Structure 1
Amino acid sequence: MKWPKHIARALPFLQTILSPTPKLSILNLRLTPHIDPLGVSSIEVYLDWATNTKANSTLFTTQQSVGAVPLNDWTDDVLFRDGYGELPLFPVDFTDASGVRREWRTDQDVLGEVLLIYTVRTRQADIYARCGPLLDVQVEHDGLIGPGAGFIAIPAGTEDLDIRLSWDLSFIPGSRAVSSYGEGDVRFVAPATRLAETVFAAGTLDSYEVPGDDFALFWVRAPPMNTTQLGQQLHKLRVGMVDFFGTPAQKYSVFIRRSKHRCGSGTAFHNSFIFAYNAMPLPGGGSEVRALEFLAHEMVHDFLRLQLQGTDVSMYPWFAWWPEGVAEYYSVRLLHTLGITDQATYVSRVNAKMSAYYTSPAVQKLIVELTYTFYTNQASQRMFYSRGYMYFLLLSELVPKYTHGKFSLDDLLREMAQRRASGADHEIYTWLDIVENAIGFKASNDLWNALYRGKLLVPEEGTIGPRYHLRPVLQDQFDLGFPEDRLIPKGPNQTLGGLDPGSRAAIEGRLRQTDVLTLVSTPLSLILDDVYREMEIVVLRDNEEVQIRYKPRSWSGVESWQFEAVDREE
């Protein structure tokens, strides 16, 4: 049949918009929690999906560890089968800077529906466990909270699936079950990898929820804070960020859990984040601004996150300066922009961020050096945060300068946020193209090279406004006085060891090599970020507990820069 010319020209377009939507493959996920507050808790996982996998190719993956955090502790009773019967599985492990990733394979071709059933134990972390990202599942009293990365096998493939999540609460009657996608059984469209980025919680959960809005806080046992006040503050932040970045409003959940070990931290996931409290400062008690920054930091990740090729967890440290730096930048900026902090507080927090950068012993290390100790050394890890912050602080001055005031850094980052929200490319190379288009190749490349090669980043006059002058100062460099790994003893009687006899720890704190560390009252991340904060620890000496307090800094200062208000009379 010969079509009229005007119809023939339109056919390719018509075929595109009128073609039937392909039917998505279904992935069924059923979770059955078994919670024992006094013993070993577990989750029985039931997965079925369609696959077309050649023999000895990857069927699904599990993340076995990230840094010092063990994940996916499966029991031996694993069942994997297709329509013809049970299939043997064998694991292949890959180790990188992040940890261990396990690929599961079989020696036969597999085509069609497959079923995987296994049981995974929750993590039982004690006070000697090392800190790390909140990727594990932990039980608190009669409830559990954790992300899919810690217990769910992720089927191979990047295509969208019709994911159907259901819960079996028969072993914990009267309980609630929620995920990043809502309460109870839910259905959503996403690639299988989204399961790793989804938070799951079950048990006797309590919550703060905003009527008429998809915003909620969830916890198992009442945390040591006013959850209503915290919920109101976080909701205000969330609404403000949605408006600021110009992205669609989405369901958003915050999960609060208590950390049994000596760590307080947060980790962002899809439309949600977990924060663990212990020694971490919380709103009130003089630390409200710092705590709100911490929580705002995690929220920013939901808007600005890089699209990474391959497995996000394994590649994350190489580019961690970008998401962590931008979250640091906006955790300070947006609290001020949204009217939560005043101008004086904003300037003092900018100065604190700069001090943390200049006084770090890792300030001039190459990114490649820092990457391999990202999960094992706090000074290395925090350098990604502070160096990333400085990168964006410098860009905030360079963008309007090179575009003659036409664009700001906010405009560039809004584009990245909107690209992420719409599913468009938002890789590191996307960002570099955006920056190069704004400030030119030379300025963009110079800043990139300085960042990766450890060249000192110094802002220009006027970066935070014409009323503030940048002045050089000397500030004491961070110096713990003994190896960082001694902060997490490997057992109850491990002596300190490695103490530098000329350090403040030995002289001001009067620590001894034979002291046994029993309590760290201040998280190391806060010490690194605050040049004025003292280290507070408790040691066991001659069978008696001794409280130690000292400034974990060098005796002589290093070059730093700070902003100060210009005298109006000048």
Structure 2
Amino acid sequence: MASDSDPTIRVLIVPRLNVSNAIAGLRIVLTIESPRVEEDSVLVTSCTTVNQSFIPRQIEASDDAGPLRLETRISHSSVSWLVGRKTIGDVKLKYRTVPVPDERPKIVSKATSLYLDQGGLLSSGLSFLLTPPDDKNYRHIVEWDLSQTLDGTRAVWTFGEGPSRIERVGPCSILTESVYMVGPIRSNPPSPGPGSISDYYGYYWFGELPPNVAIIKDIHHDFFLKVSEFFEEPPSADNPYRSFVLNTWPSKSLWGTSFLRSHIFAYDDQISEADDYDLVRRMSYELSHLYLGPPVTMKDVDWLYEGIKNCLSIYMPFRNGFRTGHYFQATINTLCLRYYTHPLINLPLEELLKLVPTSVSAKEHLEARAWAFVVGTDLKIRRMSDLKRPIEDMGIKPLAKMRASGEPYGLEQWKELLEPLMGDEFRQRYDDFVAGRTILLIPELYGAKTHYLKQVDQELLDFGMDQKCFEYGLVIGLKSGSRAEEAGLREGDKILWSSHEWKCVDHFDVEMDIIVERDGEEMPIRYWPRAYEKAKSWQMIKKDEKQGYVPPPAQT
């Protein structure tokens, strides 16, 4: 709630149009109430740790005394603008921003840039807003000027639909770590209405959704309500949630980024390759992040929450009737595959964490190992307690409440919650996790009479080169004798196109398709990104089945 002592920041967002009257960028008018900044001190900053490309164009500054000279200062962690004299009264900044160019990189970064999509524009505030450097509370007012746009243009912020003013009170992260969308927006519900679910929820996109994403759109709201109920945090107009969909084609992408009370899901022209279960898992992961995940600006991977969110991605869709037991089985098998067939499975945690910032493979394995730790702890504690779901009631929900109240909610709190019941058992499991000793799950799993975990030998994951090569667009460090080399890849090949690596990580039999250029000639190459070496893996099967993973049935 606003108080008289909270200064005001006003943001006016004006879509800029091209010669075809399509949205081509944004013009921002930012007014800061009486900032009282001394000469040569910082007035505003932008976060370059997340988006190093954001530099406002044609920036103009003024205050009650007239034009205000700004000096730009760039550091390793931010870009700052210093004032040439002491400010007097309110300060107004005017500048424009430029979206990601049409000649996008082969693989786009997370959704912290300004994107044009099918006649509209979508981004987080990290990509275009300058804010004061302090962490005090402000009364934030966001408005849109749509007077020059085409009829039917809509504007949405995480905290409500414009173009009229929307107010929120809090630190400047409310502005930067939230999502903005403008253009020919389509949504579920189709239009806003006072007193309807649009007060606290919305699912937004441009153009036509791919059929498999449309299925997620149809169940997203009901699933969100179930997750909110689980975490005992009911949504409201003051506590909304909005999910946004972005088509990044021709750039390669299939990822999600969570912001304050909102999420951006990005896809490309390979979206049809994502199975229904793949997208349901991502939806569950997305909504669990709302209650447990760190801010998007946090650089380090918090492995505990990755493990919890992946664990909940098994339970939530099945338990609430959104998918059948087949989904439960397939998801267990996917997560087992990620963990047991990864070549870094026995690397000590300390060494693994050193690799994570620069290695996609290491990050994937950290998340898989965290899941194995959490689900293994869950299976064990169920046998040590009379509670039906002890790890959820004793561990997960309390952590979420600590986060919501601003208390510490990390690994130490997790230990304090579970050690009183588990004692030495918990400490041993944690020591195994840290040392890189293989985590073995209980074959009977949750006590089901029809299914069990069966030990199977499966080939280790091996792309034949670092997965970063797909981002760099160049084959570097090709492994001699790998299936990639045997299929015809050569050191120095230019990668023009490739299928998604995640599909091969999550699905054992999927092959990798690549188009490379060598000596001016293009050539397609397909190979199975698995080593000849096998690992002792596990798969959940029915007692009368002979194999593990079964492809999911089509959803309608």
Match of 1:4 in 2: none
1:166 aligned partner: 143
Counterpart of 2:28 in structure 1 is: 45
Please state whether the residue corresponding to 2:109 is helix, strand or coil. coil
Residues 155/132 of structure 1: CA separation in 2 closer, same or farther (3 Å cut): same
Cα distance in 1 for partners of 2:212, 2:542 equals 36
**Cα distance in 2 between the residues matched to 1:47 and 1:551:** 52
Q: Which moved more, 1:27-36 or 1:120-129?
A: 120-129
Following the alignment from structure 2 to structure 1, what is the Cα–Cα distance between the partners of residues 136 and 265? 30
Q: 1:504 aligned to 2:483?
A: yes
| 1:152-183 CA distance string (max 9 Å, x none) | 12323333322110112244343211111121
Which of 261, 269, 285 pairs up with 2:259?
269
Contact map agreement 1:78 1:118 (CA 8 A) in 2: yes
Between the aligned partners of 1:551 and 1:218, the Cα distance in structure 2 is: 37
Q: Does 1:86 align with 2:68?
A: yes
SS at match of 1:166: strand
Equivalent in the alignment of 2:107: 130
Deviation larger for 77-86 or 263-272: 77-86
**Cα distance in 2 between the residues matched to 1:551 and 1:341:** 30
Hey, what does 2:96 align to over in structure 1?
Answer: 119
**Match for residue 327 of structure 1?**
309
Equivalents in 2 of 1:118, 1:450: separation in Å?
Answer: 53
Q: Which amino acid aligns with 2:228?
A: V
After TM superposition, the structure 1 = structure 2 runs for residues 173-252 of structure 1, keeping only pairs within 5 Å, are 173-174=150-151, 175-184=153-162, 185-209=165-189, 212-214=196-198, 215-225=201-211, 229-250=215-236, 251-252=240-241
Number of residue pairs matched by the alignment: 527
Offset of residue 111 of structure 1: 7.8
Other-structure match for 2:242? 253
Offset of residue 245 of structure 1: 1.9
Per-residue CA deviations over 1:157-211 (Å, capped at 9, x if unaligned) read: 3333221101122443432111111211311222211212211011222222178
Query: 2 CA distance for matches of 1:445 and 1:531?
Result: 33
Which letter does structure 2 place at the counterpart of 1:500? K
Task: Supply the distance in 2 between the matched residues of 1:524 and 1:61 (Cα, whole angstroms).
Answer: 36
Cα 1:182–1:478, aligned 2, differ >3 Å: closer, same or farther?
same
- Alpha-carbon separation, structure 1, partners of 2:4 and 2:380: 46
Any idea what SS the aligned residue of 1:502 has?
A: coil
The answer to whether the aligner puts 1:63 opposite 2:42 as a matched pair is no
CA shift, 1:105, in A, is 4.2
Residue from 412, 417, 431 that aligns with 2:400: 417
Asked if residue 305 in structure 1 is aligned to residue 285 in structure 2, the reply is no
Conserved in 2, the CA contact under 8 Å of 1:24 and 1:161? Answer: yes
Alignment partners' CA distance in 2, 1:37 and 1:244: 50
CA RMSD of aligned residues (A): 3.3
Find out whether 1:295 has 2:273 as its counterpart: no
Please say if 1:388 is aligned against 2:370. yes
Aligned 8 A contact 1:83 1:113 in 2: no
Q: Offset at 1:27?
A: 1.6
Instruction: Tell whether the 8 Å contact from 2:177 to 2:296 is kept in structure 1 after alignment.
Output: no
Partner SS state of residue 291, structure 2: coil
Q: Does 1:433 align with 2:433?
A: no
d(CA) in 2 for partners of 1:439 and 1:102?
A: 48
TM-score normalised to structure 2 length: 0.84
Secondary structure at the counterpart of residue 518 of structure 1? strand
Equivalent position SS for 2:300: helix
C-alpha change, 1:337 and 1:541, in structure 2 (3 Å) is: same
Task: Assess if the C-alpha contact under 8 Å between 2:44 and 2:132 holds in 1.
Answer: yes
After TM superposition, give the deviation of residue 407 of structure 1 in Å. Answer: 5.9
SS in 2 for 1:303: helix
8 A Cα contact 1:265 1:280, kept in partner: no
CA distance in structure 1 between the aligned counterparts of 2:104 and 2:463, rounded to whole angstroms: 20
Task: Find the aligned partners of 1:376 and 1:558 in 2 and give their Cα distance.
Answer: 25
Mean Cα deviation higher: 297-306 or 119-128: 119-128
Q: Does the 8 Å CA contact 1:40/1:122 hold for their aligned counterparts?
A: no
List alignment gaps of at least 5 residues for structure 1.
Answer: 1-19, 95-99, 307-311
Tell me which residue corresponds to 1:346: 328
1:80, 1:369 → 2: CA distance? Answer: 51
State the partner residue of 1:485. Answer: 468
Query: Structure 1 residue 262: deviation in Å?
Result: 1.4
- What letter corresponds to residue 43 of structure 1 in structure 2? L
> CA separation in 2, counterparts of 1:314 and 1:178?
22
Q: 1:437: Cα distance to partner?
A: 4.5
Shift of the 451–107 alpha-carbon distance from structure 1 to 2, 3 Å rule, reads: farther
Are the counterparts in 2 of residues 378 and 525 from structure 1 also a CA contact under 8 Å? Answer: no
Q: 1:422 to 1:485 in 2, by over 3 A?
A: closer
Name the stretch that deviates more: 76-85 or 406-415: 76-85
Q: Compared with structure 1, are the counterparts of its residues 318 and 248 closer, same or farther at alpha carbon in structure 2 (3 Å cutoff)? A: same
Q: In the alignment, what sits opposite 1:460?
A: 442
Aligned partner letter, 1:62: S
1:408 corresponds, among 384, 390, 413, to 390
Amino acid at match of 1:60: V
CA contact (8 A) 2:23 2:121 kept: no
**Which residue does the alignment assign to 2:457?**
474
Report how far residue 459 of structure 1 moved: 2.3
Moved more, 327-336 or 358-367: 358-367
CA contact (8 A) 2:361 2:467 kept: no
Cα distance 1:448–1:226, how it changes in 2: closer, same or farther (>3 A)?
closer
CA 1:22 to 1:350, structure 2 compared with 1: closer, same or farther past 3 Å?
A: same
Q: Deviations over 1:300-339 (max 9, x none)?
A: 2112224xxxxx45544242x1333222221221111111
Q: CA deviation at 1:76?
A: 4.5
Q: Distance in 1 between matches of 2:515 and 2:526?
A: 9
Alpha-carbon distance in 1 for matches of 2:310, 2:323: 15
Alpha-carbon spacing, 1:57–1:327, altered in 2? closer, same or farther (3 Å): farther
Which residue pairs with 2:502 in the alignment? 525
Shift of 1:119: 2.1
Distance, in Å, in 2 between the alignment partners of 1:80 and 1:525 is: 49
CA separation in 1, counterparts of 2:497 and 2:108? 14
Query: For the residues of structure 2 that align with 1:445 and 1:31, how far apart are their CA atoms?
Result: 52
1:32 deviation in Å? 1.6
